[in-house]
Amino acid sequence: MAKKVLIVYAHQSSGSFDAAAKDAVVDILTAQGCTVEVSDLYAMAFKAAATADVVKGNLKSAENFCYLDESKLSWEQGNLSDEITKEQSKLAEADLVIFQFPMYWFGVPGILKGWFDRVLTNGFDFSQDEPYCLETFKDKKAMLSLTTGCRTAMFCIDGDMSVTLWPLQNGILHYCGFQVLPPEVFWAPALAAAKDRKKMLESWRTRLQDLLKEEPLSFTPLDWFDKETFQLKPEHISEEFGLSVGIHLSNPLPSQS
């Protein structure tokens, strides 16, 4: 069965390396029979601020507006704004979601952060009662594909990329129930020679050939944590499991960190 792929793309320029990386996804996965859709956030003029206009109808509490509560209620009542419901429909249909963006200040551009804030609404994309366990996305895969502004050697001063991406991969994607594929990190393409940028894209295109067959990252199982204290149970403290950014459990930090 043909897969559906959603690319959430956050770069202003069609001539950027991020655009080339996005285009490679479209080319390769379309050739494999996938249906690929792109949410080009800048082209869409996607609004980043989480405000009351997410609700079509009346607010539950206009004087003490809480986006978390109001968006959940609006989703339940079918009153979310068209901009949000359209993105949620894309998510609901997608088998794979790829986020393509340049890293800004060790995180995502504001427009993409706004997409996470506004589209991932309580009830639809995540459940506070069932964190990491929402059935809606359990069979869906998601991944980060990003460009950095500094080379690998320079980034070692700043720490470990696994730690930097932890809030995104665990705190957002895994929390919402996605199967999270390993990220694709393009190190400082703007500082690289043309031949090296070409190699980066060739490597990405090669990976894309079998991307849908890749195994997701593993995360520490929720039942390893105490339900009252949210701390790892004593019998699991010394065990290694998946991404050990908790943060690194008992494992040593990378030698270059």
Between residues 240 and 67, which one has the greater pLDDT? Answer: 67
- Asked whether the beta carbons of 78 and 138 are under 8 A apart, the reply is no
Place of tokens 């043309």: 194
- List the single range of 33-37, 131-135, 171-175 with lowest mean pLDDT: 131-135
Domain residue spans of the chain: 4-216, 220-256
Distance CA 127, CA 29 (A): 31
Residues forming a β-bridge with 8: 39, 99
- List the single range of 27-31, 36-40, 123-127, 206-210 with lowest mean pLDDT: 123-127
Average pLDDT over every residue of 98-107 = 94
Say what the alpha-carbon torsion angle 73, 75, 77, 80 is, to the nearest 10 degrees: 110
Say what the alpha-carbon torsion angle 234, 239, 240, 243 is, to the nearest 10 degrees: -10
* 3-state DSSP assignment of residue 179: strand
Model confidence pLDDT, tens digit, residues 8-17: 999 999 999 8
Q: Does residue 6 surpass a pLDDT of 90? A: yes
Distance CA 94, CA 138 (A): 12
Average pLDDT over every residue of 230-240 = 72
Q: What's the whole-model pTM score?
A: 0.86
Alpha helices in the chain (DSSP H): 17-31, 67-77, 82-93, 110-119, 152-158, 161-168, 194-209
Q: Does residue 176 surpass a pLDDT of 60? A: yes
Model confidence pLDDT, tens digit, residues 139-149: 899 999 999 97
Residue 52 pLDDT grade (very low, low, confident, very high; cuts 50, 70, 90): confident
**Residues across the chain:** 257
Q: How many CB atoms lie within 10 A of CB 256?
A: 11
* 3-state DSSP assignment of residue 192: coil
Q: Does residue 257 surpass a pLDDT of 50? A: no
Place of tokens 């950014």: 245
The set of long-range contacts for 10-14, using a CB threshold of 8 Å and a minimum separation of 24, is 10/41, 10/42, 10/99, 10/100, 10/101, 10/102, 10/108, 10/109, 10/111, 10/112, 10/115, 11/42, 11/100, 11/101, 11/102, 11/109, 12/42
Model confidence pLDDT, tens digit, residues 178-220: 999 999 999 988 888 999 999 999 999 999 999 999 999 888 7
Model confidence pLDDT, tens digit, residues 82-101: 899 999 999 999 999 999 99
* pLDDT given for residue 99 in this prediction: 98
* pLDDT given for residue 238 in this prediction: 65
Hey, what CATH topology would domain 4-216 get? Rossmann fold (3.40.50)
What percentage of residues in the chain have a pLDDT greater than 70? Answer: 88
* pLDDT given for residue 240 in this prediction: 61
Residue 246 pLDDT grade (very low, low, confident, very high; cuts 50, 70, 90): very low
Q: Which two tokens mark 161?
A: 């990329």
